Amino acid sequence: MMATPRMRALAAAAILLAIAVPFVGSDYLIGLLFTTFLFVGMAYGWNLISGYTAYVSFGQISFFGIGAYAVAILVSKLSWAWPFAVLAGAGAAALIAAPLGWAMLRLRGPYFALGMLGFVQVLYMLASSWSSLTKGGEGIYLPPAGNLRPLYYAAALMVAAAIAVTWAIDRSAFGLRLRSIGEDEIAAEAMGVHTTRSKLAAFVLASTLPAMAGGLYAFRLSYVDPSSAFPASYEVQVILMAIFGGAGTVWGPLLGGVVLSAVAEALWARFAELHLLLFGLFIVVVLRYMPEGFVPLLRRRAAAAAIRKDAR
Amino acid sequence: MTSNRTLVIAAAAAMAQSLAARAEPKPIVIGASVSLSGTYAGSGKYSIEGTQLWVEDVNARGGLLGRPVRLIYYDDKSDPNTGVQLYEKLITSDTVDLIVGPYSSGVTSAVSTVAEKHHMVMLGPEAADVKIYTRGYKYNFQAQTQAGRYMLGALTLAKANGYKTLALLAEDTAFPKAVSAEVGKMAGEYGLKIVFDETYPKGSSDFSALLTKVKQIAPDVLFANSYLPDSQGILRQCHELGVEAKMFAVAVGAAEPEFRNLGPSAEYVFGATQWAATMPRTGNPAFVEAYQRKFNRAPDYHSAANYASMQVLEAAVKQVGSLDQDKLAAAVSKLKLDTVYGRFEVDPRGVQIGFTSALLQWQKGKQVLVWPDDVAKGKPILPTPPWSQRQ
Amino acid sequence: MTPRILLQLIVNGIMLGGVYGLMSLGINLVWGVMGVVNLAHGDVIIAAGFVTFWLFTRLGVNPLLALPVSIAMGFTIGLCVQKFLLARVPQDRGAVKTSLLMTFGVSYMLINAVQLTFGNEFQTVMFLPGSWRVGGLDFAKSRTLAFSMAAVISLLLWAFLRFSFTGRAIHAVSQSPEGASVCGIDIGRTRILSFGLGAALAAAAGALLVMIFAISPAMGTGYTVRSFAVTVIGGLGSFPGALLGALVLGMAEVFTGYLASAQIANGIAFLLFLAVLLTRPQGLFGRKTS
């Protein structure tokens, strides 16, 4: 990525701002940034599995729900401290993702997509019927999250970790293997890539991010029931953020997440249905006219500009 | 010079504006979320109309503390999660002065934590579940009849007619389960045995499997302890599956005029109502008339409950003389007020002990109050004729 | 469980299965012919249901007369999606992913358009209340009507595919696009018609569904997965398979609701779907696809 001094300065400023907000910003701003971080984290999660490989998952919110319920149960029933509960939620998601991925990733393209869609419904059903664990439709109440600031930092840390991991993967052999699976899985296999292992690793890793987001979200909300744990509208927003920003890139999810969170915030309260409709429309438009997303577009323009500069 | 002149004009304009602002008192903003869509929407719209009527009413009387009152509300889609986010927004972003609770125990329960966290008084006009108010919260007060009192009328009639077995159906959320639980505790006193007690997930449309089980058990009495769309769906499918009972009663829904859409399946059904236009309550006739004029339709008990909550809030604010939430909380907890909904009074936990319930029955396409005797306008028709013998 | 209860449950299951069958025929057609998974399928079902509701409640139109309106609407939606969106997707490696995402986007647009136009409440059409008592069993009038209409439409579809030129063209394209084009069949046009037809079938199913019980916009995804579940169980590309799969699902839901709980019955479609996908992906009658 073009690491010009100007970009570095901007990045540093953004980071400083992010750290400073809880001290100078209003409760509302902190809440808004908190939610943005959660979405960015989830976008990175989707990016890891569906951005690099071609396995389009519509079921990432299943892990979100797992994380949310993990925190709800651990905190309310076993009095765990929330940071540990959130990490435990990520662990639970990974534990579930391993066998699930092993089963699901054997299915190609559309079957995998449908399978994940179906998995969300299964979890929803489980959450509704397993009352002894989840209190069914009534939901679990958590003690009110007094101070938002620690949650904010936890979310920011999650995003930082997501970016770091994606960056590392992107330039590693593992990342190359994932990309090869995305391009042409059969050829990759023929070339000796352990596709199953790589896909599975990406899938399991990808599951931890929505799980952590779900856990933090649950603690903030102080209430978890099946419909808040598996919010269907989040899936579309996360996917849109990743593809708008640029699937399969390091900075795409961040860009997409920040821009679209701002748009969503302006619209969600007053135009609830309209904003989701626009998001749906946006997905279609992006796929039709800029399927690679924004980041590659920016990169190409920067590269073109650089060439023009050299040619002078 | 031009720039100097511009400066003078700008300064004058600014001064004029600030003077005008000082003359015009800042409005008091009330915030709420309500179920305008989703499962509870049928009843939710009546709720917000009750609040809107009060706002119009109080402004006509000179406002609150000499200031005009404004209402901001959003659609929580009958979803507790959305409700929580909306109340956070109302309190932190819109910075409202007062809040009032949403529709349904489920949403109120989730939202009560937000109110408590921000130390804002919240009356719950649509929260019948007592559990919400037994958590030691200091800022939340129940402004709706307790869930346990909803089916008192139906139970009384069942006992009076010598019925012995009772089947309970409930949605898997706070209020319906609370009603079922309370009925379960009281059934013995009324000579009834619970022979069926199951829940179904929120958002269900198809009750046929559940009702096939009920049919096999053939209870004397069936209670559908849920909300409007489910009450309708259950009765409709009882008709279609030939599920017979001597008495059908629903917790919510029969009081709404929309229940009529069921057609012949609605006939003879009993429903709990906490209020009716004909009940002798303070200020009731004026309220009904004003509502009819403003909204071109009759109010239902949800409208009255919300209106009553605002009456309570108004009384508390006047008593305290300010919008200090701590003082308001203390005032509300001790307040005893005769409202359009009945006598408002809460116990030390915040549970409503003043409001009561009544029972109506659909007879020949009309709602008729049948219990208790002091408000009844007609006699209950029992037992219910079998489906096959009706047209 | 007495024999009468058993029979009643079977009757309920068959009637439910009839409507599910109609839903899945649309999927079978589109997926079989073009290998495209339409994630907006369930939302077309719901949209048609709401249109029927609106026509019935606002204009007093008999739902059976409203059926052609829904079908026309569904057909138009399908046609537009294929012609203006999916057909323009570059047919490279990323095509599958892109079409999936596109129909996903369309799904959201459709459902929110429904919410904006008709509201977000549960609605139903109370047409023909009550039931017919035959042999000690109750046949709900609305469900019997829905089942009969579903059967008629399925029969018409079968006849169309078997005997009409376009129908056989569709069949040809699903077997081998190259072979079909060599025979002079316009692939692009056939695809557009297939997608339109698939959506039209979904719309018909929705118009019938709303007569049976209440629907809400949020139910779209559930029906998408159910439709695919039926197709997967019965086997892709097989007409009798789709109907059998529908029957299996209808029965499963009814019996699970009776024997276990309503919550589990809600999820049985997806459990079956996953189970079949993982153990016998070609379903009961399907041909093995790559």
User: Which residue in B84, B92, B202 is closest to A221 by CB distance?
Assistant: B84
What CATH number did the domain enclosing C247 receive? 1.10.3470
Q: Mean pLDDT across chain B, nearest whole number?
A: 89
Q: Would you call C108 and A291 a contact, using CB atoms and an 8 Å cutoff? A: no
Instruction: Enumerate helices (H) and strands (E) in chain C, giving the number of each.
Output: 11, 2
Q: Would you call A58 and C98 a contact, using CB atoms and an 8 Å cutoff? A: no
* Strand B28-34 relative to strand B98-100, pairing: parallel
Q: What is the mean pLDDT of residues A111-137?
A: 85
Three-class SS state of B378: coil
The letter for the amino acid at C86 is L
Other beta carbons less than 10 A from residue B251's beta carbon: 29
Taking alpha carbons only, the member of B156, B173, B176, B152 closest to residue B231 is B176
| Contact criterion met (CB below 8 Å) for A268 and B76 | no
Q: Would the CA dihedral through C287, A59, B110, C121 be positive or negative?
A: negative
Q: Catalogue the E-assigned strands of chain C.
A: 131-134, 137-140
Percent of residues, chain C, with pLDDT higher than 90: 32
Q: How far apart are CA B78 and CA B174, in angstroms?
A: 13
Asked if B28-145+279-344 and B149-273+358-389 have one fold, the answer is yes
Taking alpha carbons only, the member of A249, A289, A309, A217 closest to residue A47 is A249
Distance from CA of A26 to the nearest CA of B (A): 8
What residue has token string 């009507």?
C145
Q: How far apart are CA C224 and CA C208, in angstroms?
A: 16
Taking alpha carbons only, the member of C141, C107, B182 closest to residue A233 is C107
Confidence of residue C183 (pLDDT cuts 50, 70, 90): confident
Give the angle C250-C256-C261 at the CA atoms, nearest 5°. 130
Q: What is the mean pLDDT of residues B158-180?
A: 93
| Contact criterion met (CB below 8 Å) for B13 and C96 | no
Percent of residues, chain A, with pLDDT higher than 90: 30
For residue B197, list its beta bridge partners.
B168
- What digits encode the pLDDT tens for the residues B239-288? 988 899 999 999 998 988 888 888 889 999 999 998 888 888 888 999 99
Task: Report whether the peptide linkage leading into residue B372 is cis, meaning its omega lies within 30 degrees of zero.
Answer: yes
Q: How far apart are CA B85 and CA B121, in angstroms?
A: 17
Which residues numbered 220-259 in A keep a CB inside 8 Å of some CB on C?
A: 232, 236, 239-240, 243
| Contact criterion met (CB below 8 Å) for C81 and C106 | yes
B56 touches chain C (CB under 8 A): no
B218 touches chain C (CB under 8 A): no
Residue of C nearest to A119 (CA): C270
> Which CATH superfamily does the domain covering B149-273+358-389 fall into?
Response regulator (3.40.50.2300)
Q: What is the mean pLDDT of residues C56-70?
A: 91
Q: How far apart are CA C190 and CA B189, in angstroms?
A: 70
* Per-residue pLDDT at A1 exceeds 60: no
Q: Would you call B113 and A141 a contact, using CB atoms and an 8 Å cutoff? A: yes
* DSSP state, residue B118: T
In a domain, C288, yes or no: no
For residue C139, list its beta bridge partners.
C132
What's residue B99's pLDDT? 95
Which residues numbered 238-277 in C keep a CB inside 8 Å of some CB on A?
A: 261, 263-264, 266-267, 269-271, 273-274, 277
pTM for the full predicted model: 0.84
Domain ranges of chain B: 28-145+279-344, 149-273+358-389
- φ, ψ at C136 (rounded to 5°): 80, 0
What's residue C74's pLDDT? 95
Residue B333, Cβ density class (10 Å: 0-12 exposed, 13-18 middle, ≥19 buried): middle
Tell me the two tokens of residue A98: 């391993």
Q: How far apart are CA B121 and CA B309, in angstroms?
A: 12
Q: Would you call A113 and C224 a contact, using CB atoms and an 8 Å cutoff? A: no
In a domain, C287, yes or no: no
Distances B240 to A84, C4, C128, C143, C144 between C-alpha atoms, Å: 52, 16, 10, 9, 11
Residue of A nearest to B110 (CA): A223
* Per-residue pLDDT at B6 exceeds 60: no
What's residue A271's pLDDT? 72
Q: Which chains, if any, share at least 3 CB pairs under 8 A with chain C? A: A, B
Q: Which residues on C lie below 8 Å from B77 (Cβ)? A: 120
Tell me the two tokens of residue A102: 């092993």
Q: How many CB pairs under 8 A join B and C?
A: 107
Distance from CA of B58 to the nearest CA of C (A): 31
CA B259, B262, B267, B270: dihedral to nearest 10 degrees? Answer: -40
* Per-residue pLDDT at A22 exceeds 70: yes
* Per-residue pLDDT at C1 exceeds 80: no
For residue B140, list its beta bridge partners.
B122
Q: How far apart are CA C162 and CA C156, in angstroms?
A: 10
* Per-residue pLDDT at B71 exceeds 60: yes
A196 touches chain C (CB under 8 A): no
B241 touches chain C (CB under 8 A): yes
Confidence of residue B5 (pLDDT cuts 50, 70, 90): low
What's residue B1's pLDDT? 45
| Contact criterion met (CB below 8 Å) for B141 and B151 | no
- What digits encode the pLDDT tens for the residues A82-118? 999 999 999 999 999 999 998 888 887 778 888 888 8
- What digits encode the pLDDT tens for the residues A244-280? 888 888 888 999 999 888 888 877 766 766 777 888 8
What's residue B293's pLDDT? 93
Which distant-in-sequence residues (6+ apart) come within 8 Å of A145 by Cβ?
A82, A151, A219, A220, A222, B117
Which distant-in-sequence residues (6+ apart) come within 8 Å of A31 by Cβ?
A148, B88, B92
Q: Would you call B81 and A227 a contact, using CB atoms and an 8 Å cutoff? A: yes
Which distant-in-sequence residues (6+ apart) come within 8 Å of B300 by Cβ?
B43, B46, B255, B256, B257
* DSSP state, residue C93: T
Q: Does residue B136 or residue B67 have the better pLDDT?
A: B67
Domain ranges, residue C158: 3-122+134-279
Tell me the two tokens of residue B210: 């559940």
Q: Does residue A72 or residue C34 have the better pLDDT?
A: A72
* Per-residue pLDDT at B171 exceeds 50: yes
Confidence of residue C290 (pLDDT cuts 50, 70, 90): very low
Taking alpha carbons only, the member of B107, B126, B101, B94 closest to residue B38 is B107
Tell me the two tokens of residue B355: 């409001």
Tell me the two tokens of residue C74: 């569904």
What's residue C261's pLDDT? 80
What's residue A272's pLDDT? 67
Q: Would you call B209 and C124 a contact, using CB atoms and an 8 Å cutoff? A: no
Q: What is the mean pLDDT of residues C96-108?
A: 87
User: Which residue in A110, A115, A136 is closest to C96 by CB distance?
Assistant: A110
Percent of residues, chain B, with pLDDT higher than 90: 60
In a domain, C141, yes or no: yes
- According to CATH, what is the number of the domain B28-145+279-344? 3.40.50.2300
| Contact criterion met (CB below 8 Å) for A137 and B172 | yes
- What digits encode the pLDDT tens for the residues C119-147? 777 889 988 888 888 888 888 888 999 99
Three-class SS state of A145: coil
Q: How far apart are CA A62 and CA A118, in angstroms?
A: 10
Split into its structural domains, chain C has a count of: 1
* DSSP state, residue A58: S
Q: What is the mean pLDDT of residues C207-227?
A: 89
Pick from B73, B88, B93, B109 the residue to mutate for testing the A interface (most A CBs within 10 Å).
Answer: B93
